[in-house]
Chains A and B, each alone.
Chain A
Amino acid sequence: KQEVTQIPAALSVPEGENLVLNCSFTDSAIYNLQWFRQDPGKGLTSLLLIQSSQREQTSGRLNASLDKSSGRSTLYIAASQPGDSATYLCAGGPYGNKLVFGAGTILRVKS
Chain B
Amino acid sequence: DAGVTQSPTHLIKTRGQQVTLRCSPKSGHDTVSWYQQALGQGPQFIFQYYEEEERQRGNFPDRFSGHQFPNYSSELNVNALLLGDSALYLCASSFRRGDVNTEAFFGQGTRLTVV
Residues of chain A having any CB pair with chain B under 8 Å: 4, 31-32, 34, 36, 41-46, 49, 89, 91, 95-104
Question: Given A43-B108, A102-B42, A34–B103 Cβ distance below 8 Å?
Answer: yes
| Contact call B104/A34, Cβ cutoff below 8 A | yes
A-B interface pairs (CB < 8 A), number:
67
Report Cα–Cα, A95/B48, bound state, in Å: 13
Given A42-B108, A46-B106, A95–B101 Cβ distance below 8 Å?
Answer: yes
Query: Is B42 a contact of A101 with CB atoms below 8 Å?
Result: yes
Interface residues of B (CB under 8 A from A): 4, 6, 33, 35, 40-45, 48, 55-56, 58, 88, 90, 92, 94, 99-109, 111
Contacts of B35 in A (CB 8 A): 99, 101
**A43: nearest residue on chain B (CB-CB)?**
B108
Measured between beta carbons, the chain A residues less than 8 angstroms from B41 are 103
A97 touches B56 (CB 8 A): yes
Closest Cβ–Cβ distance, residue A69 to chain B (whole Å): 21
| Measured CA separation A101–B46 after assembly (Å) | 13
Verify A98–B40 contact, CB threshold 8 A. no
Q: A45–B103 Cα gap in the complex (Å)? A: 11
Would you give the shortest CB distance from B29 to chain A, in whole angstroms?
A: 13
Distance in angstroms from A62 CB to nearest chain B CB is 15
